[in-house]
């Protein structure tokens, strides 16, 4: 059966031209085409990914989208590196995209770039107090019950904005809970003197107490992955916690401030070499945070670990994270 791309000459020509001469695809591995959005796929009455595809197209063409095994942010499979909106001969609107799969031969290492993945870094003496600080909580409602999220969001220390994620997977394997926080909230510890004095300390300490509530609640889930996500100098920084071990999560939280300071230094190391990291992912292993991989502008992946598999062995359960609701819900 012909795909929408095959049925639409303009889309087929665009895909063929891009794969033959990719402008930014060197070193990313094998490229394939895919339809990632269509107004014919409905989710509760809405097209999958929302009714406005222009946002998806713009974001993919600007930064790319991660492609993961299942929807585990710690298992990179590649990136969606280009996208364009088309209309098929029968009137169906769809997004044609170029997917680039990582392959082991294209993996670059931190040390080969002259970068220490675990640099020494001193914590700041003070941190800003943001007037509009908020917590963002993202889950796929098919994976995590609303009642669980509602209990978590009771009496938060700052306003909470909830987003609904869609992992575009046939069945749920793990329960991903994405927590968005200002980078300063990750760096904070009780020894740091904050701007705003006691008011600032109270807010940062309140965020810490709220995270403690999260660690207690993960034991109610089946197989959770907590992704604590923030932004630093244009780079998305993620700290991943796996499983239901509450004591491990407390231990990881205690080490989070130092790891966040280190992440800031690692990002600076990239930038000093005229490399722009767009994402940096940490895992908590053997009682310490370890930088698992970074993705730099252009989509190339950097890691000192054997995290990639050959294209031929890539499982079919690949997914992209989609934001279903076009507006955040304030809680």
What is the average pLDDT across 195-213? 83
What is the average pLDDT across 299-307? 86
What is the average pLDDT across 25-42? 76
Q: Are residues 185 and 262 in the same domain?
A: yes
In the prediction, which pLDDT does 106 show?
Answer: 77
Q: 30 vs 15, which has greater pLDDT? A: 15
89: left (phi over 0), alpha (psi -120 to 50) or beta: alpha
Question: Is 110 inside any structural domain?
Answer: no
The secondary structure of 223-273 as a DSSP string is SEEEEEEEEETTEEEEEEEESS-HHHHHHHHHTHHHHHHHHHHHHHHHHHT
In the prediction, which pLDDT does 64 show?
Answer: 86
Q: How far apart are CA 259 and CA 120, in angstroms?
A: 10
Q: Are residues 158 and 91 in the same domain?
A: no
Question: Is 111 inside any structural domain?
Answer: no
Model confidence pLDDT, tens digit, residues 46-68? 555 566 789 889 989 988 888 88
Question: Is 201 inside any structural domain?
Answer: yes
Q: Are residues 186 and 233 in the same domain?
A: yes
**pLDDT-derived band at 174, boundaries 50, 70, 90:** confident
Model confidence pLDDT, tens digit, residues 113-169? 999 999 988 888 888 777 678 999 999 888 899 999 999 998 899 999 998 887 655
Q: How far, CA to CA in Å, does 108 sit from each of 88, 105, 186, 229, 307?
A: 39, 9, 28, 24, 11
In the prediction, which pLDDT does 330 show?
Answer: 43
Q: Are residues 84 and 160 in the same domain?
A: no
Tokens linked to 72:
């585990």
What is the average pLDDT across 36-53? 65
**pLDDT-derived band at 323, boundaries 50, 70, 90:** very low
Q: Are residues 65 and 160 in the same domain?
A: no
Q: How far apart are CA 280 and CA 231, in angstroms?
A: 10
Number of domains in the chain: 2
Asked whether residue 326 carries a pLDDT value surpassing 50, the answer given is: no
In the prediction, which pLDDT does 318 show?
Answer: 53
In the prediction, which pLDDT does 2 show?
Answer: 67
In the prediction, which pLDDT does 324 show?
Answer: 32
| Domain carrying residue 29 | 4-105
In the prediction, which pLDDT does 329 show?
Answer: 41
Q: How far apart are CA 75 and CA 93, in angstroms?
A: 31
Q: Are residues 253 and 188 in the same domain?
A: yes
Model confidence pLDDT, tens digit, residues 242-279? 999 999 999 999 999 999 999 999 999 999 999 999 99
């Amino acid at each position: 059966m012909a795909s929408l791309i095959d049925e639409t000459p303009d889309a087929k020509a665009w895909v063929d031209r891009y794969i033959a001469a990719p402008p930014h695809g060197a070193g990313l591995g094998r490229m394939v085409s895919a339809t990632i959005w269509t107004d014919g796929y409905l989710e509760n009455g809405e097209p999958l990914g929302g009714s406005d595809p222009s946002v998806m197209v713009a974001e993919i063409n600007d930064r790319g989208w991660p492609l993961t095994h299942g929807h585990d942010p710690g298992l990179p499979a590649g990136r969606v590196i280009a996208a364009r909106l088309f209309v098929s001969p029968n009137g169906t609107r769809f997004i044609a995209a170029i997917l680039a799969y990582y392959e082991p031969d294209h993996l670059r290492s931190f040390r080969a770039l002259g970068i220490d993945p675990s640099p020494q870094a001193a914590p700041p003496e003070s941190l800003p107090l943001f007037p509009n600080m908020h917590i963002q909580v993202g889950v796929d409602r098919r994976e995590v019950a609303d009642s669980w999220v509602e209990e978590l969001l009771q009496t938060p220390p700052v306003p909470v904005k909830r987003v609904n994620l869609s992992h575009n997977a046939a069945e749920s394997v793990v329960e991903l809970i994405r927590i968005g926080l200002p980078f300063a909230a990750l760096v904070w510890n009780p020894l740091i003197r904050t701007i705003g004095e006691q008011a600032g300390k109270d807010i940062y300490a309140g965020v810490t107490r709220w995270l403690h509530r999260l660690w207690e609640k993960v034991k109610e889930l089946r197989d959770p992955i907590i992704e604590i996500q923030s932004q630093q100098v244009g780079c998305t920084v993620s700290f991943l916690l796996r499983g239901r071990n509450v004591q491990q999560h407390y231990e990881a939280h205690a080490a989070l401030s130092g790891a966040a300071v280190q992440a800031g230094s690692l990002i600076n190391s990239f930038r000093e070499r005229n490399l722009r990291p767009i994402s940096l992912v940490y895992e908590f292993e053997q009682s310490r945070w370890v930088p698992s991989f970074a993705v730099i502008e252009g989509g190339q992946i950097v890691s000192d670990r054997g995290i990639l598999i050959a294209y031929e062995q890539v499982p079919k359960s690949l997914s992209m994270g989609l934001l279903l609701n076009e507006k955040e819900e304030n809680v």
